Amino acid sequence: MCLTTQQEEDLTMNETTQQRITAKPANYNRWVVIFCLGVLVFLGLFYYATQKIQYVWRWNRTPIYFAYQDDIDITSTIDGEVSAIAIDGSKARITVLGIGEEETYEVPAKGLRVDQGDFISPGDTLASYKKWKPGLLVVGLWITLKISVLATIVGVIIGIISGLMRISDNPALRWTSIVYVELIRGSPLMVQILVWYFVLGTLINDLLSANGWGQIPALWYGVASLACFAGAYVSEIVRGGIQSIHRGQTEAARSLGMNYAQSMRYIILPQALRRILPPLAGQFISLIKDSSLLGIIAIRELTKAAREAVTATLQPFEVYILLGLLYLVLTFSLSMYVQYLERRMATS
């Protein structure tokens, strides 16, 4: 297949442009070395500072913040005599005979604490075993992830609805969205959390209790406060993204017979999503860090769990450094995932 002169020129121009885009700038390696030296200098200064302060570092104790072995005791519930102990492999069955009652307990054979014929009282330990449990930081990390995911999902829904209301021709919908956005963005998040928990939460739980229903845990009020807070910012992001799409796109969709909802779903929102994805990622990263304020309403999220660990062990530097690294892992992972979505949407 032969190429014309124009096609050859176009091909050469494309190759040159591609090389120009992918080519490394001058002195690239030199700046890489300078960056690495800067990182080494920072680490060296940090190490020097740690040696100058009067503090005993105990990094060997930090694994218990992630997982530890707890002693689990199996106790008797009645007063009586150990009438029989039957061992079957790694399990043992202890029979306690009381006055007019009998109880049988299945326990680990290695953890037996009683012998046949012993007299015991309620609460006495029959056997014990060790069980791995998550540490404080793992518990806090799980709660932070749970809150952040739920608040993100609800916040996106609220933000999309509010953003569409903001550009609506209906004045009631538009003014409602404006009041919501300005009210949420104009007040501190901590105040909103306190209002949700101590004002709305108390009112709602009192009404539920009066009708014989169970109370809503504090975690859900924390999720609601973060979702409403994020929804206000997502609303403005969505509004800006939709209005950045040329009106000709909407007119073309209408000319094809689509109504407003169909044009938004199939034409406008898919294009706007590509533009609003980076600011949305920034908002959700901020949401993960904002969840640290929920400790004021007794939710054991990551920061509150770290404070409890510091109170119990008096190791502030180790715990807070680990806390910062865990938040960095969460936010960096989300940032990398958003960049992956951007590349995928750019090629689709």
Q: Is the pLDDT of residue 1 over 50?
A: no
Lowest average pLDDT, out of 19-28, 43-52, 142-151, 294-303, goes to 19-28
Which amino acid does the sequence have at 130? K
User: What is the separation of C-alpha 157 from the centre of its chain, rounded to a whole number of angstroms?
Assistant: 18
Contact 46, 324 (CB under 8 A): no
The DSSP 8-state label assigned to residue 216 in this structure reads P
Which amino acid does the sequence have at 164? L
Radius of gyration of the chain (CA): 31
Beta bridge partners of 74: 127
- In this structure, the number of other CB atoms found within 10 A of the CB of residue 280 comes to 22
Lowest average pLDDT, out of 20-29, 70-79, 173-182, 199-208, goes to 20-29
| Separation CA 294–CA 304 (nearest Å) | 8
Percent of the chain past pLDDT 90, that is, above it, reads: 41
What tokens does 240 get? 């800006």
Half-sphere exposure of 229 (CA within 13 A, CB side): 28
The model's pLDDT over 235-264, given as tens digits with 9 standing for 90+, comes to 999 888 888 888 888 778 778 888 877 888
pLDDT for 348: 63
| Separation CA 17–CA 25 (nearest Å) | 14
Which amino acid does the sequence have at 329? V
| Separation CA 53–CA 316 (nearest Å) | 13
pLDDT for 188: 94
Q: Is the pLDDT of residue 31 over 50?
A: yes
Q: Is the pLDDT of residue 321 over 60?
A: yes
Q: Is the pLDDT of residue 59 over 70?
A: yes
Phi, psi of 108 (to 5 degrees): -65, 135
Q: Enumerate domains of the chain plus CATH numbers.
A: 68-133 (2.40.50.100), 136-347 (1.10.3720.10)
| pLDDT level of residue 211 (50, 70, 90 thresholds) | confident
The phi-psi region of residue 99 (left if phi > 0; otherwise alpha if psi is between -120 and 50; otherwise beta) is beta
Q: Is the dihedral of CA 30, 333, 226, 269 positive or negative?
A: positive
The model's pLDDT over 6-30, given as tens digits with 9 standing for 90+, comes to 555 554 555 555 545 455 677 888 8
| Separation CA 294–CA 108 (nearest Å) | 40
pLDDT for 13: 53
The sheet that has 91-98: what strands, in order across it? 102-108, 91-98, 80-88, 119-120
Which whole number is the average pLDDT over 304-325? 91
pLDDT for 3: 45
pLDDT for 251: 79
Q: Which residues of 316-339 are buried (b: 16+ CB within 10 A; e: fewer)?
A: eebbeebbeebbeebbeebeeebe
pLDDT for 90: 84
Mean pLDDT of the chain: 86
| Separation CA 258–CA 305 (nearest Å) | 52
pLDDT for 76: 87
pLDDT for 2: 47
| Separation CA 168–CA 186 (nearest Å) | 23
Q: Is the pLDDT of residue 81 over 70?
A: yes
pLDDT for 15: 52
| pLDDT level of residue 195 (50, 70, 90 thresholds) | very high
Q: Is the pLDDT of residue 193 over 90?
A: yes
| Separation CA 8–CA 11 (nearest Å) | 5
Q: Which residues of 78-110 are buried (b: 16+ CB within 10 A; e: fewer)?
A: eebebeebeeeeeebebbbebeeeeeebebebe
Which whole number is the average pLDDT over 92-110? 86
The model's pLDDT over 136-172, given as tens digits with 9 standing for 90+, comes to 999 999 999 999 999 999 999 999 999 989 988 889 9
Which whole number is the average pLDDT over 317-341? 90
The model's pLDDT over 282-291, given as tens digits with 9 standing for 90+, comes to 888 999 999 9
Lowest average pLDDT, out of 23-32, 76-85, 185-194, 324-333, goes to 23-32
Which whole number is the average pLDDT over 306-327? 91
Q: Is the pLDDT of residue 223 over 90?
A: yes
| pLDDT level of residue 191 (50, 70, 90 thresholds) | very high
